[in-house]
Amino acid sequence: MKRPLILTEAYAQMNDSPSLRDLIHATETAKLSGFQVYSIPPDYTRCENAENALAYVPEQAEETPGLWLGFIPSAQRYTEIYEAALDKNIRLLNTPDEHLNGQVFDRAYPYIADLTPKSLVIQSVEECEMIAEELMFPVFVKGAIQSRKSKGWSFCVAESLQELRELATQLFALENRSRGKVIVRELAQLRHTRRASDFPLGREYRVFVYQGHIVGWGYYWEGDDPLRDLSKEEEQHVLALAQRAAEALPSSYISVDVGQTEALDWIVIETGDGQFSGYSEIPLLPFWNRLRELL
């Protein structure tokens, strides 16, 4: 039986951070589950190209499923690593198109529009005027790749047209988060009991899905929270909604974030390529064991 393979950036020399520690923990747990694990650099600074980045990864005797664990790459870098891996008989779980479909919000949105708050895409600050005609303030503001909600409410919520212009200007300057596109969304009021940096920590769950199968799921936020536990009926609702989003989206391996509004409705928050999504509070050993079974 072939052993699936992981290409990880966990052991590259990077500054310590919670994200890096989570990546190391995920990689070490995957090893325990029987995955082959090989280290690759997080960029081409020293190795120059994708072929050199995989220089120490052995060619597989037969086509082998692979995952890339690391930080969100550019579209070009993903394609280059994907093709270099294929040359070694390693097929990453998502093709370059599937990667973008899951990771880039405006690529995913048309497939999940009926499951998530109304969202508009702008490519210039001048387009903010249009938003004011389409959506009611306050609005949630994020890049096509990531938001800045970890920094607090004022970094991702605009209460007025002027604040929207300011947030859009900041995001356009952050290429790794926006890739030239800013997403303006109806603000979903999620149930919550806690805040961090004045941002409400909503009742939200992350679900990983591979080819329509649930791989694992868990509460999005760390720490004690009276809203963390789901009833059996709620669990079924969350997982069914995540599967519905995954089935609609042309991507093999994705994460789906599902939240509950103050009106007690369940909505999809966003999706991501499962290879580059944090694991939140998901128990990792059962997660990797389940994924290996599916591969």
Residue ranges of alpha helices (H) inside 161-215 are 161-172, 175-178
Amino acid 196: pLDDT: 84
Percent of the chain clearing pLDDT 90 (strictly above): 86
Amino acid 13: pLDDT: 65
Please count the CA atoms within 13 angstroms of the CA of 35 that sit on its side-chain side. 30
**Chain centre distance of CA 78:** 15
Q: Mean pLDDT score of the chain, rounded to an integer?
A: 94
Amino acid 279: pLDDT: 92
Q: Count Cβ atoms within 10 A of the Cβ of residue 133 and give its class: 0-12 exposed, 13-18 middle, 19 or more buried.
A: exposed
Distance CA 78, CA 178 (A): 17
For the 118-186 domain, the top CATH level (class) is alpha beta
Higher pLDDT, 29 or 46: 29
Check whether 93 has a pLDDT greater than 90: yes
Q: What is the pLDDT of residues 168-214, one digit of tens each?
A: 999 999 999 999 999 999 999 999 999 887 889 999 999 999 999 99
Check whether 292 has a pLDDT greater than 90: yes
CB 261 within 8 A of CB 191: yes
Check whether 289 has a pLDDT greater than 80: yes
For the 192-294 domain, the top CATH level (class) is alpha beta
**Could you tell me the CA-to-CA distances from 233 to 190, 230, 237, 256 in Å, in that order?**
19, 8, 6, 19
Confidence band, pLDDT 50/70/90 cuts, at residue 18: confident
Amino acid 19: pLDDT: 80
Q: What is the pLDDT of residues 260-282, one digit of tens each?
A: 999 999 999 999 999 999 998 99
Q: Which helix (H) or strand (E) holds 208?
A: strand 204-210
Count of residues for the chain? 295
Amino acid 157: pLDDT: 96
Provide the residue ranges of all domains of the chain, joining segments of one domain with +: 5-92, 118-186, 192-294
Amino acid 45: pLDDT: 85
Q: What is the pLDDT of residues 113-163, one digit of tens each?
A: 999 999 999 999 999 999 888 999 999 999 999 999 889 899 999 999 999
CB 122 within 8 A of CB 169: no
Confidence band, pLDDT 50/70/90 cuts, at residue 240: very high
**Could you tell me the CA-to-CA distances from 84 to 77, 90, 100, 142 in Å, in that order?**
10, 9, 18, 32
Distance CA 27, CA 156 (A): 31
